Chain A
Amino acid sequence: MNTSLNLLAYFIYLPVVIILTWYVAHTLFRNSKAFMLDIFHGKADIALSTNKLFETGFYLLNLGFALLIMEIVADIYNSRSMLEILSYKIGGFSIYLGIMLFFNLYLFFRGRRISRERARLAEALKKIPGNDEIK
């Protein structure tokens, strides 16, 4: 038998990573709208724009990385080694995706904290008497 199993491995790998990325991005950015509204003090249009831009960047980065690491250099001739290589690749990609997810969550929490501190500072400045001209 001359045909190797690489092509089959690619056709298993591609749908799995695409669905995985889609699912993670969908979940993350559906729930991040609340954070964005908080960060931009309820200005809906710029918050949703930022959310959409981050989502696009997330897709580009992760799908690009997934496609870049897809190639299997060695020829595969039995299904056992195909499964092993595939599970190594997909597992590594999921760990990478998880790290990206938590990094994004960290960014959202950080942004919300900074914007809250800034709002509190502005409130405190307003309360000082004779300080009205500085907003």
Chain B
Amino acid sequence: MNTLAYIIYLLLTYWITVHVGMIFFRNGRRYILPLLHDDERLTDFINRALLTGYYLLNLGYAAIMIRTWRTISTWQELVASISTMTGRIMLTLAVIHFFNMAMILLISRRHHTANNKNSDI
């Protein structure tokens, strides 16, 4: 029963990770572009590197969490444990996501004030 749970869990988390990753990849580009002085090639490269890092982090984390799985013997436990583990992964993703957005905001604010100082001189 555990093997079935792992297969469903991995499919679910991999799907969520890839889907969310593509959304971040597409929408995050416009934030990085002004930070790198509108350098398109560097932006695309850094964006791709960030996406790869994100995939590695999340998929690795999802795979590691399998170790903590308890033994399953009924369908009811199967559904319950899959949903608990997936929920935990999604919450972690959400926390990382909001942390990243706060970081981008901080960096762009610092960037903005630095630019204004330069223009004043």
Contact = CB atoms under 8 A, between A and B. Distances in A.
A23 B76 CA distance: 27
Contacts of A83: none
Contact of B76 (A6, A60, A134): A6
A64 B31 contact: no
The bracket for how many chain A residues form the interface is: 20 to 34
A67 B20 contact: no
25 contacts: A6-B80, A7-B75, A10-B79, A10-B80, A46-B31, A52-B27, A53-B23, A53-B24, A53-B28, A56-B20, A60-B93, A61-B90, A61-B91, A63-B87, A63-B90, A64-B86, A64-B91, A65-B87, A67-B83, A67-B90, A68-B84, A68-B88, A71-B80, A134-B120, A135-B119
Contacts of A7: 75-76, 79
Given A61-B98, A64-B91, A72-B80, 10 more contacts: A4-B76, A7-B76, A10-B80, A49-B27, A49-B31, A53-B27, A57-B97, A61-B91, A64-B86, A67-B86
B101 interface: yes
A128 to B, nearest CB: 16
Interface string A45-63: 1100100110011001101
B31 to A, nearest CB: 7
Contacts of A69: 87
Interface in A81-135: 133-135
A28 interface: no
A69 B88 CA distance: 10
Contact of B94 (A64, A134, A135): A64
A66 interface: yes
Identify which of A46, A64, A70 gathers the most chain B CB atoms within 10 Å of its CB. Answer: A64
A6 B76 CA distance: 7
A7 B84 CA distance: 14
Interface string B71-86: 0000110011101101
A10 B24 contact: no
A14 interface: yes
